[in-house]
Amino acid sequence: MKRNDGFESKELPAEVQGTLPDVYVDDLLVTIKYFVDEEHAHLWIEDHEVCARCRHKPCLYFCPVNVYTLGHDGKIQVAYQACVECGSCRVGCPYSNIGWTLPRGGYGVAYKFG
């Protein structure tokens, strides 16, 4: 299926459909506790000029919590406060243009299990 952003999404093979569990990201997110470091961003764009030349801007799609958005000025905005530290942006940016560190000690997300 052709999407209007140029990417193609593929249907799962019939033998796989129905075998995967239903996962609702919003239900998982409410189990996370955030300790936001308002003084120190642990994610940043290295060079906005590189983003300007990045045709498909996959960061707008791969982050499960939409940390990356396109601002009115055409620049990628980084809402690092919402990050759940999945690590996808460390490998998802085709130009390695996202600076990434773990939050400082005492900050970040805490996952509850059970």
- Residue ranges in contact with ligand SF4 by CB under 6 A: 43, 45, 50-51, 54, 57-59, 63-65, 67, 76, 83-89, 93, 95, 97-98
**Cα distance between residue 77 and residue 74, in whole Å:** 9
Q: How far is the CB of 10 from ligand SF4 (least distance, A)?
A: 21
- Min CB(25)–ligand SF4 separation in Å: 11
DSSP 37: -
Q: Which is nearer to ligand SF4, 7 or 87 (CB)?
A: 87
Smaller CB separation from ligand SF4, 12 or 96: 96
Return the structure tokens found at 53: 């030349």
Q: What is the rounded end-to-end Cα distance, in angstroms, of the chain?
A: 38
Q: Is residue 26 within a helix (H) or strand (E), and if so which, with residue range?
A: helix 25-29
